[in-house]
Copies of this chain bind each other. A is one copy, B any other.
């Protein structure tokens, strides 16, 4: 029988995977040095080098692959991860290693979308009027323009391969100063560029040592008139409807949008003093509102009525007592086939862990014991703080509250791993990677052993 000759690329992948099977660390390292992209390549039935090394008990190879940033998540055609394989074949030192590697470094828990802090908020400067005014007219200062609460963006048409579709339009003082005359204009001081941030954020002029300040401007001017200020084509105001629009910024810009939009929505909804009903004025670089009625109680002492609202929300992946299934639910408004983590607002007088237990039982009828905090994410729709947890169920019967969700169901680890790894699946679509729900689900798949 004649076999078809392998291409040069196929041949090098074969050699790499073979080195993993044999535990030939020098050969594997040599190949990786020349061709770093080999690391996550798959061979027969979707097996990666990590899986093959795990199958054959080569601890040092697994260690080396992980230290080179190998992805632990992929599944083979039998929907097994490298961890599953090591565990099945009784290589417990390897399965422990695969479960224990530090979350952040191994990419199990990446930096979340909306979380990158490109600007230093410098909140002490908010009360320094002279400093703020000097920054406003500084030629290096960056302004972002919001039509009410929607940022002006330009569409990146060039790079079709990138997930980044929208880019914030940036203005200098001369391009926006006329807007400051209007009393309804809201000016929000967002911070100054961090000294160590990449120059992609804004170009710092030679010889200038002061990092530029950034402001957001919220205006009720006509949107078409505002767009004329922009020389570039393809500019528009996002409406965040569908909300997915908000998930197409770069990591750097997403963090800035999260801050600016949350504060502007607060101004939009909290223009009047809730204590006495009078009008209010902006203070402290747009981070405070003060009641204009000098008799108002809100002016005596410090009151939360004067500061932006942040609503804490618990979002949790509920794990079955058998540790091999998880509970996901869907709202009527979700796209067909999409399921996600349960979530709900924390109530007054409630701890995080108790809110998780209450919400899960209310929405699904399932009782929860252990709750473990994993990560958090600001979510500027309008101004939530998502507090992400894993929760271990102590009961399994589902009884859905139809007012909250349409359906809730237990999914096996295999179903989840397939959907995560293979992408869109008509039977089970998971929320996009920018969401904390996605990251909690991914975390559980990667860390299953350690709960």
Asked whether any CB of chain B lies closer than 8 Å to the CB of A166, the reply is: no
Asked whether any CB of chain B lies closer than 8 Å to the CB of A312, the reply is: yes
Report yes or no: B380 in contact with A351, Cβ–Cβ below 8 A: no
Report yes or no: B312 in contact with A312, Cβ–Cβ below 8 A: yes
Asked whether any CB of chain B lies closer than 8 Å to the CB of A218, the reply is: no
**How many interface residues does A have (CB within 8 Å)?**
62
Chain B's closest residue to A190 (CB) is B349
Asked whether any CB of chain B lies closer than 8 Å to the CB of A248, the reply is: no
Q: What 0/1 readout, one digit per residue, does chain A (152-183) give for beta carbons within 8 Å of chain B?
A: 00000000000000000000000000000000
Known: A273-B272, A351-B378, A352-B376. A304 touches B309 (CB 8 A): yes
Known: A311-B310, A376-B353. A382 touches B304 (CB 8 A): yes
Distance of A115 Cα from B353 Cα, bound (Å): 10
Contacting B at CB under 8 A, from A243-277, are 255, 258-263, 266, 269-277
Report yes or no: A349 in contact with B304, Cβ–Cβ below 8 A: no
Contacts of A350 in B (CB 8 A): 117, 259, 310, 378, 385
Q: Whole-angstrom distance from the CB of A213 to the nearest CB of chain B?
A: 17
Of A1-9, A231-239, A340-348, the segment with at least 4 beta carbons within 8 Å of chain B is A340-348
Q: Whole-angstrom distance from the CB of A386 to the nearest CB of chain B?
A: 9
Q: What 0/1 readout, one digit per residue, does chain A (348-363) give for beta carbons within 8 Å of chain B?
A: 1111111000100010
Contacting B at CB under 8 A, from A355-382, are 358, 362, 373, 375-378, 380, 382
Contacting B at CB under 8 A, from A168-224, are none
Contacts of A352 in B (CB 8 A): 376, 385, 387
Asked whether any CB of chain B lies closer than 8 Å to the CB of A121, the reply is: yes
Asked whether any CB of chain B lies closer than 8 Å to the CB of A135, the reply is: no
Contacts of A377 in B (CB 8 A): 351
Distance of A298 Cα from B272 Cα, bound (Å): 13
Report yes or no: A310 in contact with B312, Cβ–Cβ below 8 A: yes
Report yes or no: B277 in contact with A278, Cβ–Cβ below 8 A: yes
Q: Whole-angstrom distance from the CB of A278 to the nearest CB of chain B?
A: 7
Distance of A383 Cα from B309 Cα, bound (Å): 12
Contacts of A387 in B (CB 8 A): 352, 387
Sample of 11 A–B contacts (CB below 8 Å) = A114-B351, A258-B348, A272-B276, A274-B274, A304-B383, A307-B345, A310-B347, A310-B348, A349-B380, A351-B375, A352-B387
Contacts from A to B (Cβ < 8 Å): 112, 114-115, 117, 121, 123-124, 255, 258-263, 266, 269-279, 287, 297-298, 303-305, 307-312, 345-354, 358, 362, 373, 375-378, 380, 382-383, 385, 387, 401, 403
Identify 13 new A-B residue pairs, CB closer than 8 A, beyond the known A262-B349, A310-B348, A310-B350.
A112-B351, A121-B347, A255-B349, A258-B348, A259-B347, A269-B275, A270-B275, A272-B275, A273-B274, A349-B380, A349-B383, A351-B377, A351-B378
